[in-house]
Structure 1
Amino acid sequence: MRLFASAILFVVAALSAPAFAQETAAPSSPQSVKPGINDKFLDPDLKVEEWVQRFEVESREIFHARDEIVKQLKLKPGDRIADIGTGTGLFVEPFAKAVGKEGWVYAIDIAPKFVERVGKLAKELHLDNVTPVVGGEDDIRLAPQSIDVAFICDVYHHFEYPQASLASIHKALVPGGQLVVIDFNRIPGKSRDWTLSHVRAGKEVFRQEIEDAGFEFVEEVKLSEFQENYFLRFTRK
Structure 2
Amino acid sequence: MHTLKPYILLFAFLSLSMFSVGQNRYQIKTGDPNGIKKWYMGRQIAQVMSHYGIDWLEREERQREENTSLLLKNLAVKPGMFIADIGAGSGYHSALLSKMVGSGKVFAVDVEPEMIAYLNERIKKEKLSRIVPVLSTEQKVSLPENTIDMMLLVDVYHEFSYPYEMALSMRSALKPGGKLVLVEFRSEDSTVPIKTIHKMSEAQAIKELKAAGFVFDKNIDNLPWQHCMVFTKQ
TM-score (norm 1): 0.78
Mapping 1:9-88, distance limit 5 Å: 16=4, 18=6, 19-21=8-10, 23-24=12-13, 26=16, 27-28=18-19, 29-30=22-23, 31=26, 32-33=38-39, 34=44, 37-38=47-48, 41=50, 46-47=51-52, 51-60=53-62, 64-88=66-90
Aligned partner of 2:94 in structure 1 is: 92
Return the alpha-carbon distance in structure 2 between the equivalents of residues 67 and 185 of structure 1: 19
Aligned-pair RMSD on alpha carbons?
2.5
User: Do the aligned residues in 1 keep the contact of 2:45 with 2:197 (CA within 8 Å)?
Assistant: no
Alignment length, in residue pairs?
A: 211
Per-residue deviation, residues 8-58 of structure 1 (Å, max 9, x unmatched): xxxx9xx945342364353324434346723x62xxxx54xxx23211224
For 2:56, the aligned partner's letter is: R
Which SS does the other structure have where 2:132 is aligned?
strand
The alignment status of 1:229 with 2:226, answered yes or no, reads yes
Return the alpha-carbon distance in structure 2 between the equivalents of residues 108 and 62 of structure 1: 25
Return the alpha-carbon distance in structure 1 between the equivalents of residues 61 and 129 of structure 2: 31
Residue 79 of structure 1 and its aligned partner are, at CA, apart by 0.3
User: Do the aligned residues in 2 keep the contact of 1:184 with 1:195 (CA within 8 Å)?
Assistant: no
User: Do the aligned residues in 2 keep the contact of 1:82 with 1:149 (CA within 8 Å)?
Assistant: yes
User: Do the aligned residues in 2 keep the contact of 1:55 with 1:63 (CA within 8 Å)?
Assistant: no
Residue 220 of structure 1 and its aligned partner are, at CA, apart by 1.4
The alignment status of 1:139 with 2:140, answered yes or no, reads yes
Instruction: Describe the shift of the 1:22–1:205 C-alpha distance in structure 2 as closer, same or farther (beyond 3 A).
Output: closer
Aligned partner of 1:196 in structure 2 is: 196
For 2:227, the aligned partner's letter is: Y
Aligned partner of 1:123 in structure 2 is: 124
Aligned partner of 1:220 in structure 2 is: 219
Instruction: Describe the shift of the 1:191–1:210 C-alpha distance in structure 2 as closer, same or farther (beyond 3 A).
Output: farther
Per-residue deviation, residues 136-180 of structure 1 (Å, max 9, x unmatched): 112111110111000000011112221111100110000111110
Return the alpha-carbon distance in structure 2 between the equivalents of residues 74 and 146 of structure 1: 18
Q: Which structure carries more strand by proportion?
A: 2
Query: Which stretch has the larger CA shift, 166-175 or 28-37?
Result: 28-37
User: Do the aligned residues in 2 keep the contact of 1:220 with 1:233 (CA within 8 Å)?
Assistant: yes
For 1:203, the aligned partner's letter is: E
Whichever of the two has the greater Rg, that structure is: 1
Instruction: Describe the shift of the 1:22–1:145 C-alpha distance in structure 2 as closer, same or farther (beyond 3 A).
Output: closer
Structure 1, gaps ≥5 residues long: 1-11
Per-residue deviation, residues 75-113 of structure 1 (Å, max 9, x unmatched): 11110000001011101222111111x201110111111
Which SS does the other structure have where 2:195 is aligned?
helix
For 1:219, the aligned partner's letter is: K
Residue 63 of structure 1 and its aligned partner are, at CA, apart by 6.4
Aligned partner of 1:3 in structure 2 is: none
Instruction: Describe the shift of the 1:169–1:63 C-alpha distance in structure 2 as closer, same or farther (beyond 3 A).
Output: farther
Structure 2, gaps ≥5 residues long: 27-37
User: Do the aligned residues in 2 keep the contact of 1:56 with 1:63 (CA within 8 Å)?
Assistant: no
Return the alpha-carbon distance in structure 2 between the equivalents of residues 37 and 119 of structure 1: 25
Residue 126 of structure 1 and its aligned partner are, at CA, apart by 2.2
User: Do the aligned residues in 2 keep the contact of 1:148 with 1:178 (CA within 8 Å)?
Assistant: yes
TM-score (norm 2): 0.79
Instruction: Describe the shift of the 1:203–1:95 C-alpha distance in structure 2 as closer, same or farther (beyond 3 A).
Output: same
Query: Which stretch has the larger CA shift, 29-38 or 206-215?
Result: 29-38
Return the alpha-carbon distance in structure 1 between the equivalents of residues 46 and 197 of structure 2: 13
Residue 185 of structure 1 and its aligned partner are, at CA, apart by 1.0
